[in-house]
């Protein structure tokens, strides 16, 4: 049972919040729109607009940032070198059919972006394939897909009522197992697994590829796909640096007023903004109380990317990544299989760790990141060319990297957030079957268009 099927099943079990139909009302027989507005030029908004244009419907995108791509953000750390890293979304999974199809359509090539994980734990260093979890945990992990498939809908609904750490601890796994699963799994959800729905976690690991969809990236940067879609939509239809301040709905459709006073009117609206930005807008009529409560309750992961550019790739293998129990948390080779002597290791830190690293002065932060790797490689200062940061926890538009569904929220909050409000349809990775992936954003944007076509 896939996640979307589970949402329907739990609703039948009475798991979902009551949805007041009168406050979410839409026309019984909606007409095919002639013009649709889209808030957001991230992958959800671009996918929605691209589909609308192919359907022959006029589309206008309003984007608050000064670029397209949203939380997909490719960056060149050395201007004189042909190297690209991702400060935002990193991976395309083997099962990400739509992103793969779009890459083929636009002539973009995917490169293997899989890694073999090293471990630094309690001061000790173990290379990839030289460490493992307990036999009990390894056995459970090997059988996780069978375990998941044999659970009833009621059992799965019950898992949504506890956190992932508690679920694992109740199965009697060792403290070491729990520690390492915390380190590994928190990188997937962006916060401690003590705050993540056990249903959300188990579902992801049972339904994903062996590398948990960390399989490919786009050669030249994931941002190239955003640019290709934007070009196909037409730059004249995309207005950058246009933050929407007010959303008015009436019998004639939807009118948006931007912070600079410009107005745009159309038949319908697809809003792909993160929940933080949705709540900052003035809505007339006001959003239903159940929707407002759901928007307030969903949190986004505090993820920081702290890349360090090194003069040489001292780690010795292109497919290097390493999980640590120190501040740097998780490191991976951000310039994997790109030509050149220089290389970038990206410290991918989550939750409180990311918050602490972000708050430090630049020199202190760099040393904390390097100290995390010291048990494996010693003093690395001699290799450092430069370093940088992007902390999604303080991103002014999302205040987080991607949505994190906590205890009970998959069945209680998701159905409310997905519901259309009059002539407004919502989309974004927070409404996808998978959080934190470009594929989910694309799927969500296209699903929003399907609601009225």
CATH 3.90.660.10 domain locations along the chain: 74-91+214-220+301-394
Count of beta carbons in the 10 Å neighbourhood of residue 152: 10
Note the pLDDT of residue 5: 55
Burial 360-371 (b: 16+ CB within 10 A, else e): beeeebbebbbe
Note the pLDDT of residue 325: 98
Rg (CA), the chain: 22
Note the pLDDT of residue 252: 86
Distance CA 409, CA 16 (A): 9
pLDDT of the chain along its 453 residues, tens only? 354 454 444 443 444 444 444 456 654 446 789 999 999 999 999 999 999 999 999 999 999 999 999 999 999 999 888 899 999 999 999 999 999 999 999 999 999 999 999 999 999 999 999 999 999 999 999 999 999 999 998 999 899 999 999 999 999 999 999 999 999 999 999 999 999 999 989 999 999 888 889 999 999 999 999 999 999 999 999 999 999 999 999 988 999 999 999 999 999 999 999 999 999 999 999 999 999 999 999 999 999 999 999 999 999 999 999 999 999 999 999 999 999 999 999 999 999 999 999 999 999 999 999 999 999 999 999 999 999 999 999 999 999 999 999 999 988 999 999 999 999 999 999 999 879 999 999 999 999 999 998
Class of the 74-91+214-220+301-394 domain?
alpha beta
Cα-based angle 27, 31, 35 (whole degrees, multiple of 5) = 110
Q: CA 335 → CA 187, 272, 343, distances in Å? A: 19, 30, 6
What are the backbone dihedrals phi and psi of residue 326, each rounded to the nearest 5 degrees, phi first? -105, -175
Closest CA to 299 of 279, 283, 327: 279
Count of beta carbons in the 10 Å neighbourhood of residue 70: 29
Distance CA 80, CA 237 (A): 33
Distance CA 417, CA 410 (A): 10
CA atoms within 13 A on the CB side of 337: 13
Q: For 3-70+222-299+404-450, which CATH superfamily applies?
A: FAD/NAD(P)-binding domain (3.50.50.60)
> Is 120 strand, coil or helix?
strand
Note the pLDDT of residue 190: 95
- Residue 445 near residue 269 (C-beta atoms within 8 A): no
Closest CA to 122 of 171, 83, 176: 176
CATH 3.50.50.60 domain locations along the chain: 3-70+222-299+404-450
What are the backbone dihedrals phi and psi of residue 246, each rounded to the nearest 5 degrees, phi first? -135, 140
Distance CA 297, CA 275 (A): 10
- Residue 402 near residue 440 (C-beta atoms within 8 A): no
How far out from the chain centre does Cα 274 lie?
Answer: 11
Q: Strand 282-284 and strand 244-250: pairing? A: parallel
- Residue 389 near residue 368 (C-beta atoms within 8 A): no
Secondary structure of the chain: what % helix, strand, coil (to 5)? 40, 20, 40
């Amino acid at each position: 049972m896939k996640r979307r099927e589970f949402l329907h099943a739990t609703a039948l079990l009475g798991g979902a919040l009551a949805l007041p139909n009168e406050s979410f009302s839409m026309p019984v027989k909606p007409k095919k729109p002639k013009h649709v507005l889209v808030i957001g030029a991230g992958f959800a908004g671009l996918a929605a607009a691209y589909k609308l244009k192919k359907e022959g419907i006029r589309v206008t995108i309003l984007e608050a940032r000064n670029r397209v791509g949203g939380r997909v953000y490719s960056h060149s750390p050395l201007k004189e070198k042909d190297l690209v890293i991702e400060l935002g979304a990193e991976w395309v999974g083997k099962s990400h059919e739509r992103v793969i199809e779009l890459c083929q359509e636009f002539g973009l090539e995917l490169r293997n972006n899989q890694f073999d994980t090293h471990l630094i734990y309690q001061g000790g260093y173990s290379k990839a394939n030289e460490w493992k979890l307990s036999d009990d945990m390894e056995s459970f992990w090997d059988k996780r897909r069978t375990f998941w498939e044999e659970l009833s809908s009621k059992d799965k609904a019950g898992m949504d009522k506890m956190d992932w750490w508690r679920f694992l601890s109740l199965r009697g796994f060792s403290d070491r197992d729990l520690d390492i699963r915390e380190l590994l799994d928190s990188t997937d959800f962006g916060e401690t697994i003590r705050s993540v729905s056990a249903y959300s976690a188990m579902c992801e690991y049972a339904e994903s590829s062996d590398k948990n969809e960390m399989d490919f990236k786009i050669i030249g940067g994931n941002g190239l796909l955003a640019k290709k879609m934007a070009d196909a939509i037409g730059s004249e239809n995309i207005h950058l640096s246009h933050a929407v301040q007010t959303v008015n709905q009436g019998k004639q459709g939807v009118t948006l007023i931007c912070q600079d006073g410009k107005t745009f009117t159309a038949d319908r609206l697809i809003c792909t903004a993160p929940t933080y930005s949705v709540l900052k807008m003035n809505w007339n009529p006001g959003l239903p109380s159940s929707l407002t409560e759901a928007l307030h309750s969903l949190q986004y992961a505090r993820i920081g990317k702290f890349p360090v550019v090194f003069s040489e790739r001292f780690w010795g293998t292109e497919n290097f990544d390493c999980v640590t129990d120190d501040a740097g948390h998780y490191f991976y080779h951000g310039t994997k299989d790109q030509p050149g002597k220089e290389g970038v290791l990206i410290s991918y830190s989550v939750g409180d760790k990311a918050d602490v690293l972000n708050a430090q002065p630049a020199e202190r932060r760099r040393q904390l990141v390097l100290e995390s790797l010291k048990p494996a490689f010693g003093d690395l200062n001699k290799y450092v060319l430069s370093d940088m940061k992007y902390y999604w926890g303080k991103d002014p538009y999302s205040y987080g990297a991607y949505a994190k569904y906590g205890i009970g929220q998959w069945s209680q909050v998701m159905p409310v957030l997905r519901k259309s409000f009059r002539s407004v349809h919502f989309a974004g990775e927070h409404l996808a079957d998978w959080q934190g992936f470009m594929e989910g954003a694309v799927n969500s944007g296209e699903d929003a268009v399907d609601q009225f076509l």
